[in-house]
């Protein structure tokens, strides 16, 4: 993948309306080859609608979506070969063993029996389900079923994987294993679009994040970029050596920042944390003053805005944050 | 009504659109019947015979309605709770198995009571017309109907605690109802007049059927009694048997209603290929086709959907099909042996009639459960989206699914052919009739399959699809036979013939010249009906499947 390579997934001004209700509004996004894009948003934000349009299960009202040059509406047949889709519902069949389940989908994709047997072995090894070969699909644990689901999406060796909530309902160990698996797939050159409500997980594996609320793209970029986009306020932490100086420090901070700034005193932790629009110069002056006042400072640092905080900025009821300068497709 | 389950289930049942639809259909049917058969001449009204005819017809109709409509509710009751996960919540309450059972049982019986209450106006009309006594006719009929409803509910609940899926529960319950109400009459037909313990056993077995009790209470002769008078008090015996059977079912169900229903480990998925040589040899001897052997890859030229359908149905596995086919072949040959050894007593058409009845009963029982959930099951489990994501065309998906059912039905039909061959061997003149019967059966199989699949595809849930498919087939096969029961009085020959035209069972029976059907000429009108019905069903199925596969 070089900078000159075109993006694998290109979504342009995608809109979907159900009568008066707009499920998706003018969504534009791109995903480069080998990248993992995390699509997040509250329930009913339009994530699943966007995914269903991408995999050809739904038609957009306007706009286009292309995967590896194939139009998701006009080239629906090609899209099926290009995309491996794992819906949030597993889609199991009773009385079928795991290898029979994979064999069926391999046959449905027209893979020849000999090649199919080899391919089933490969995807089972890749997803760590080789030991599950003879188990009945309906008897699998949730974590294993998710892995088998991913094995199914890989059976026809698609270029793009679209996974709807792959880590939903998994225990911590299974979640870590799922994260490693997704990273492994990205390292193999697969392009992944993943939705999840487990934001720390997404923050760890995704090169890019897109936040959607009410069908509109609100932020797009790396976690750091989104942090900067969503909030001009900075969070600063002053760690003290002496807990007795917390009150004096807080008073000094209040004098230096704007009146509406939030200042939190944590006497037990001997720290003062504040959120403010203070500039770098203002921070330097505040530090100078604290030292002058005899405050013994162990650490003086700016905390990064995390994904959860960014998400909540958009998702909380009555959020008024206007769409940030979205870099999608640029 | 202080049982919370009774409140929830009964009110829940009454709120369901299908319950309302059932009640409306019943009320409309009864009103129509009353309007059609209401006497218009004064001398008819005075004799009271018209009201007796109507009352008899209503009694059989109500019995049929109770047997066909009621079992689906208890059959899906527990298994649905288990599937939804609410059974665990229920067992976790201090209610206890006894109260849970009573709640569910009385909720179903409540529905039965509502159904029977809807018939009160028309029964009152019969009573008002004269010729029908309150204690001798009306109360006894309602008593038999009540016992039937009670046993159907108890049986449905028992099956519901044992079944693993909704369609299996519905299938086994209707199978049990058929066995209890119809098959118990068959030995009596063969061994009528036999003395000793065999005669006694057959007599008791017959008394288990609500049809026998109903016929007895209405003063009709026994099925196939051929003039042999009986002194048995069928209604009394039926009361005893159904109460004991209900009690046994209830005790068994209550014993099952505990944590053991949920306390099941996941299957280890052991395959025979990984076992010791000795065990493999043992399995080889026990199974012609071992279901636990590791299966091979789907062939290049095989429809993968067909293979999937066979594999994902427990019943669809080859060893089960072989068992079914073997049973059919054995039954068919057994009937043939009876034909050859007792031809003087039973003529060839009689045995042919029994063969036809058994085959059609098997088709009607098996086909909806195999076919109705073909599309609904995929939609319910999320498999439809996965199928949509494959390059398989709609036609190939539908063809694969239908093929899996058609092959099963053909195997069943072929297994019964030896019986017909023996019939032709005994009486070569029957050859033409047997050929036509085979065509009738094949047409019935195709019609049952396509109509069930078409009706089932209109539903989102397997249970609803299965019930609707059973309802349609039973309406086509059962209602005309009910009209046939009222032949000459109150229905005329032309009306009965017109009603029987849609009935594949009757068509096959007229071809085989069974007594009671000899006066009707249903071929080729019935074949036209089945052919057009099949084509229309196929069009509906393809249209609905294509619609479902289109992007929203």
Share of chain B above pLDDT 70, in %: 90
Whether residue B490 has a cis bond before it, omega within 30° of 0: yes
Which residues in chain A are contacts of B307 at CB distance < 8 A? 104, 107
CB contact (8 A) between residue B385 and residue A89: yes
pLDDT at B344: 58
CB contact (8 A) between residue B311 and residue A83: no
Whether the CB of B85 is below 8 Å from some CB of chain A: the reply is no
The position carrying tokens 């870590």 is A176
Give dist(CA A62, CA B357) in Å, integer.
59
Whether the CB of B313 is below 8 Å from some CB of chain A: the reply is yes
Mean pLDDT (whole number) for B503-520 = 84
Q: State pLDDT tens for residues A157-207.
A: 999 999 988 887 788 888 888 888 999 999 999 999 999 877 777 888 898
Q: State pLDDT tens for residues B370-384.
A: 888 889 888 888 889
CB contact (8 A) between residue B552 and residue A59: yes
Residues whose CB falls within 8 Å of the CB of residue B84, separated by 6 or more in sequence, listed in order: none
Of B183, B228, B229, B226, residue with least CA distance to B206: B183
Examine the pLDDT at B316 and tell me if it is beyond 80.
no
Give dist(CA B382, CA B412) in Å, integer.
31
pLDDT at B323: 77
pLDDT at A327: 46
Share of chain A above pLDDT 70, in %: 90
Contact between B510 and B521 (Cβ < 8 Å): yes
Q: Angle CA(B480)–CA(B483)–CA(B485) in degrees, nearest 5?
A: 115
Torsion of CA A122, A123, A129, A135, to 10 degrees: -90
Q: State pLDDT tens for residues B26-77.
A: 788 777 777 776 666 655 555 667 777 778 878 888 888 888 778 888 998 8
Whether the CB of B393 is below 8 Å from some CB of chain A: the reply is no
Q: What is the mean pLDDT of chain B?
A: 82
Q: What DSSP string describes A33-88?
A: TT-EEEEE-STTSSHHHHHHHHTTSS--SEEEEEETTEETTTTHHHHHHHEEEE-S
Of B404, B371, B166, B84, residue with least CA distance to A94: B166
For residue B272, count CB atoms less than 10 angstroms from its CB and return exposed for 0-12, middle for 13-18, buried for 19 or more.
middle
Of B236, B53, B230, residue with least CA distance to B130: B53
Which residues 133-162 on chain A approach chain B with CB closer than 8 angstroms? 134-136, 139-141, 152
Examine the pLDDT at B150 and tell me if it is beyond 70.
yes
Contact between B356 and B508 (Cβ < 8 Å): yes
pLDDT at B356: 80
Examine the pLDDT at B458 and tell me if it is beyond 80.
yes
Size of interface A-B (CB pairs under 8 A): 118
Q: State pLDDT tens for residues B262-271.
A: 777 667 777 8
pLDDT at B129: 75
According to DSSP, the residues that pair with A97 across neighbouring strands are A136
Contact between B514 and B447 (Cβ < 8 Å): no
Q: Of A56, A87, A110, which is closest to B382 when you measure between CB atoms?
A: A87
Read off the tokens for B68. Answer: 């066909």
Q: Of A59, A103, A110, which is closest to B551 when you measure between CB atoms?
A: A59
CB contact (8 A) between residue B269 and residue A134: yes
Contact between B177 and B242 (Cβ < 8 Å): no
pLDDT at A325: 44
CB contact (8 A) between residue A80 and residue B312: no
Instruction: Identify the sign of the CA torsion B48, B54, B60, B63.
Output: negative
The pTM (predicted TM-score) of the whole model is: 0.75
């Amino acid at each position: 993948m070089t900078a000159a390579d075109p993006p694998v997934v290109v979504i342009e001004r995608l809109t979907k309306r159900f009568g008066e209700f707009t499920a998706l509004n003018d969504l534009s996004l791109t995903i480069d080859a080998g990248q993992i894009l995390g699509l997040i948003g509250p329930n009913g934000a339009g994530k699943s609608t966007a995914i269903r349009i991408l995999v050809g299960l739904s038609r957009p009202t306007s706009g286009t979506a292309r995967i590896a040059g194939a139009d998701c509406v006009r080239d629906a047949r090609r899209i099926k070969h290009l995309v491996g889709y794992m819906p949030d519902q597993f889609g199991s069949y009773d009385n079928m063993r795991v290898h029979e389940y994979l064999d069926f989908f391999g046959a449905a994709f027209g893979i020849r029996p000999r090649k199919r047997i080899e391919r089933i072995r490969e995807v089972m090894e890749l997803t760590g389900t080789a030991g599950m070969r003879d188990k009945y699909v309906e008897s699998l644990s949730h974590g294993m079923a998710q892995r088998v689901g991913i094995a199914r999406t890989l059976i026809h060796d698609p270029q793009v994987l679209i996974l709807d909530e792959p880590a939903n309902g998994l225990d911590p160990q299974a979640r870590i294993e799922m994260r490693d698996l997704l990273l492994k797939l990205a390292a193999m050159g697969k392009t992944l679009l993943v939705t999840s409500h487990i934001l720390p997980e997404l923050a760890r594996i995704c090169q890019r994040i897109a936040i959607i609320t009410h069908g509109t793209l609100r932020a797009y970029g790396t976690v750091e970029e989104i942090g900067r986009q969503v909030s001009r306020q900075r969070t600063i932490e002053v760690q003290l050596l002496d807990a007795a100086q917390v009150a004096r420090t807080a008073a000094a901070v209040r004098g230096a920042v704007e009146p509406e700034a939030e200042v939190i005193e944590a006497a037990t932790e001997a720290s003062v944390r504040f959120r403010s629009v203070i500039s770098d110069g203002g921070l330097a002056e505040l530090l100078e003053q604290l030292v002058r006042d005899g405050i013994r400072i162990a650490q003086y640092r700016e905390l990064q805005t995390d994904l959860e905080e960014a998400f909540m900025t958009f998702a909380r009821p009555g959020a008024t944050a206007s769409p940030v300068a979205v870099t999608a497709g640029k | 009504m202080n049982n919370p389950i009774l409140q929830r289930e009964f009110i829940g049942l009454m709120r369901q659109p299908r319950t309302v639809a059932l009640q409306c259909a019943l009320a409309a049917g009864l009103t129509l019947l009353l309007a059609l058969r209401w006497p218009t001449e004064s001398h008819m009204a005075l004799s009271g015979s018209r009201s007796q005819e109507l009352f008899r017809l209503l009694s059989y109709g109500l019995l049929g309605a109770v047997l066909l409509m009621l079992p689906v509710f208890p059959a899906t009751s527990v298994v649905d709770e288990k599937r939804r996960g609410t059974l665990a919540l229920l067992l976790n309450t201090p209610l206890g198995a006894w109260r849970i059972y009573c709640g569910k049982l009385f909720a179903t019986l409540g529905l039965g009571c509502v159904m029977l209450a809807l018939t009160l106006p028309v029964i009152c009309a019969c009573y008002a017309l004269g010729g029908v006594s309150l204690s001798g006719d009306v109360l006894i009929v309602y008593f038999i109907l009540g016992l039937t409803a009670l046993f159907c509910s108890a049986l449905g609940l028992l099956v519901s605690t044992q079944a693993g899926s909704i369609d299996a529960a519905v299938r086994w319950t209707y199978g049990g109802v058929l066995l209890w109400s119809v098959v118990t009459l068959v030995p009596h037909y063969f061994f009528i007049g036999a003395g000793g313990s065999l005669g006694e056993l057959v007599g008791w077995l017959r008394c288990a059927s609500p049809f026998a009790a109903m016929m007895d209470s209405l003063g009709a002769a026994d099925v196939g009694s051929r003039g042999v008078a009986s002194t048995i008090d069928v209604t009394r015996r039926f009361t005893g048997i159904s109460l004991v059977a209900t009690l046994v079912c209830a005790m068994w169900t209550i014993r099952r209603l505990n944590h053991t229903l949920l306390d099941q480990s996941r299957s280890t998925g052991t395959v025979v290929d990984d076992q010791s040589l000795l065990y493999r040899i043992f399995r080889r001897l026990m199974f012609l086709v071992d279901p636990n052997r590791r299966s091979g890859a789907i062939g290049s030229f095989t429809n993968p959907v067909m293979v999937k359908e066979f594999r994902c149905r427990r019943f669809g596995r080859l060893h089960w099909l072989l068992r079914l086919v073997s049973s059919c072949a054995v039954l068919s040959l057994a009937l043939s042996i009876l034909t050859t050894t007792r031809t003087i007593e039973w003529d060839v058409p009689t045995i042919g009639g029994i063969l036809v009845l058994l085959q059609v009963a098997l088709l009607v029982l098996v086909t909806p459960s195999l076919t109705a959930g073909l599309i609904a099951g995929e939609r319910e489990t999320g498999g439809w989206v996965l199928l949509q994501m494959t390059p398989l065309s709609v036609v190939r998906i539908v063809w694969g699914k239908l093929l899996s059912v058609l092959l099963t039905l053909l195997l069943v039909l072929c297994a019964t052919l030896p019986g017909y061959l023996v019939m032709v061997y005994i009486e070569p003149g029957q050859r033409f009739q047997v050929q036509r019967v085979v065509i009738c059966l094949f047409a019935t199989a195709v019609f049952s399959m396509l109509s069930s699949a078409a009706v089932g595809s209109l539903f989102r849930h397997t249970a609803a699809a299965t019930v609707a498919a059973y309802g349609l087939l039973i309406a086509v096969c059962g209602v005309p036979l009910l009209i046939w029961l009222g032949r000459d009085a109150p229905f005329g020959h032309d009306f009965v013939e017109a009603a029987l035209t849609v009935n594949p069972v009757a068509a096959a029976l007229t071809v085989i010249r069974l007594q009671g059907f000899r006066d009707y000429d249903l071929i080729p009108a019935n074949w036209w009906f089945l052919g057009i019905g099949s084509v229309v069903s196929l069009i509906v199925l393809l249209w609905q499947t294509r619609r479902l596969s289109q992007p929203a």
